[in-house]
Amino acid sequence: MTRKDLMASNYPGALPSITDPTSTSKFNSPSHSDQHIDTNADMLAIATELGLNPAGAYATVALRLDALAASGAGDLLADGTIPLTANWDVGNFTITSDSLYAKAVGMGGNGAFRAIDSSNNYLTFYCSGGYGIMDMGGLGQSGMLIYPTPVAGGISLFGYSTEGQTAEWTICGYKTGDALRGLQIGVGVDAADTASFDGVSNYLFDGIVESDSLITPTINATATSDLSLFGTTDVADDADGKSLYIHRKAAEGDHNIRLYIDKWEEAWFGCTTTLYFPSFVAYQGNVHFGKDASLNNTFKMAGYITADTSDKYIQWQVNDSTDNFELTREDANIGAFDIQMPLIVDKVIGTPDAITATSDGIAASLETLNTEVTTNDDNDLDIVTLAAGISGQIKHIYCVASFAGDTWKITPATLLGGTQITFGDNSVGTGCTLVYADNEGWIIVGNNGGTIA
């Protein structure tokens, strides 16, 4: 009921102000029409405040308020809140002084709490089959649970565990073509003061994995697969592969061992300090290089030669063709194999160089101990030249084949007591042994059939 000239009521902000007429009051003092207008305004204000059907299912509003008070709600306070004096049953919920309970309705007969946003995304908490469950879903949902701001005290799971309680946190996933699997994370499950990761066969970490300390790092003896490093890491065609470093950091100096495969597909093992292969008790056993049932691998050791401004190497190998252990050099920039201590051997076998002497002269090698000479059967004097050696070098030169009319001689660059040693006609078995000295040149220490001149 409204009228365009209806005055506004003070209710419910204040109680209505009423002026009662007396028996002697006239109709215009107070105004009779204003009295009706004020009464109508106050009645409309009260009806608006209570709303339609304020008694609800009760006979009167008073009965409804009595029932509310009996259910545990106290008197309505000025701030609009209602304190609880006992448990309060409201629809599907029971409210106590400190808790809100969902009754066994919805979610398959289980009490549930659900928060829903304007896009129908929802977060639901409920119990089922003895488990507490949190469910997320809805239109446009991302499937992520997010704490939008940092939690000051962190997030704690099982923070009130007591002795003997070692609960695990299980994260499950079901990859297409696999099976439902769960990663179990726990503390104290397997050992004291130890975090455990269990439940799956493989653990893949996409980023960098660091550890402040590894007390006793081990690979389980029951492991069924090899340990693979960088097996899925591609590098550029002209780049070295990834490296495995083992560091030792200390005040007196930092050093490391590095293992990697370079851009030429060759394996490198290096270190920033001296490399030892210890033989004390803790490392019993032998060290093998090139141990293979079918290959004859080489072992190379290199060093820098200043005169050639490059690295040069020596090479060790067991030669399958000769059945010998060979020590060779890359080229003549490595001068000699210098043993600076006594050498004890069971046998010394000097592989000879075999030459055919001519009248024009042919040089005996300085790189072999023995030189075998064959004359060229042209009925003249054949010549073998011998360059200067190094101090202490020994050289055996002898004839193994000669012909009638052939003679031969040795002409060293320098010879103590002469310039040549000459051997007669058809002189198989003749020859001499010489030793080189820095100041004297070649010195004859053994002579069979030669004439010194």
Return the pLDDT at 312: 93
The rounded percent of the chain whose pLDDT value lies above 90 is 35
Return the pLDDT at 98: 60
- On whether residue 76 sits in a domain, the answer given is no
Return the pLDDT at 140: 57
- Res. 3 pLDDT band, cuts 50 70 90: very low
Point out the domain boundary residue: 137, 154, 172.
137
Return the pLDDT at 372: 97
Domain containing 132 equals: 88-137
The rounded percent of the chain whose pLDDT value lies above 70 is 76
Return the pLDDT at 77: 54
- Res. 374 pLDDT band, cuts 50 70 90: very high
The average confidence (pLDDT) of the chain is 81
pTM to 2 decimal places: 0.42
Least-confidence region, from 20-29, 216-225, 293-302: 216-225
- On whether residue 119 sits in a domain, the answer given is yes
Give the per-residue SS3 of the chain.
CCCCCCCCCCCCCCCCCCCCCCCCCECEECEHHHHHHHHHHHHHHHHHHHCCCCCCCCCCHHHHHHHHHHCCECCCCCCCCCCECCCEEECCEEECCCCEEECCCCCCCCCEEEEECCCCCEEEEEEECCEEEEEEECCCCCCCCCCCCCCCCCCCCCCCCCCCCCCEEEEEECCCCCCCEEEEEEECCCCCCCEEEECCCCCCCCCCCCCCCCCCCCCCCCCCCCCCCCCCCCCCCCCCCCCEEEEECCCCCCEEEEEEECCCCCEEEEECCCCCCCCCHHHCCCCCCCCCCCCCCEEEEEEEEHHHCEEEEEEEEEECCCCEEEEEECCCCCCCCCCCCCCCCCCCCCCCEEEEEECCCEECCCCCCEEEEEECCCCCEEEEEECCCCCCCEEEEEEEECCCCCEEEEEECCECCECCEEECCCCCCCEEEEEEECCCEEEEEEEECCEEC
Return the pLDDT at 232: 80
Q: How many domains does the chain have?
A: 2
In the predicted structure, residue 218 carries a pLDDT above the cut 80: no
Return the pLDDT at 375: 96
- Res. 251 pLDDT band, cuts 50 70 90: very high
Point out the domain boundary residue: 137, 168, 203.
137
Point out the domain boundary residue: 137, 153, 176.
137
CATH value at residue 441: 2.60.120
Least-confidence region, from 61-65, 84-88, 173-177, 220-224: 84-88
Return the pLDDT at 48: 82
- On whether residue 227 sits in a domain, the answer given is no
- On whether residue 405 sits in a domain, the answer given is yes
- On whether residue 54 sits in a domain, the answer given is no
Instruction: Write the pLDDT tens digit of every residue in 150-207.
Output: 656 677 888 888 898 888 888 899 999 999 999 999 998 888 888 888 888 888 877 7
In the predicted structure, residue 74 carries a pLDDT above the cut 50: yes
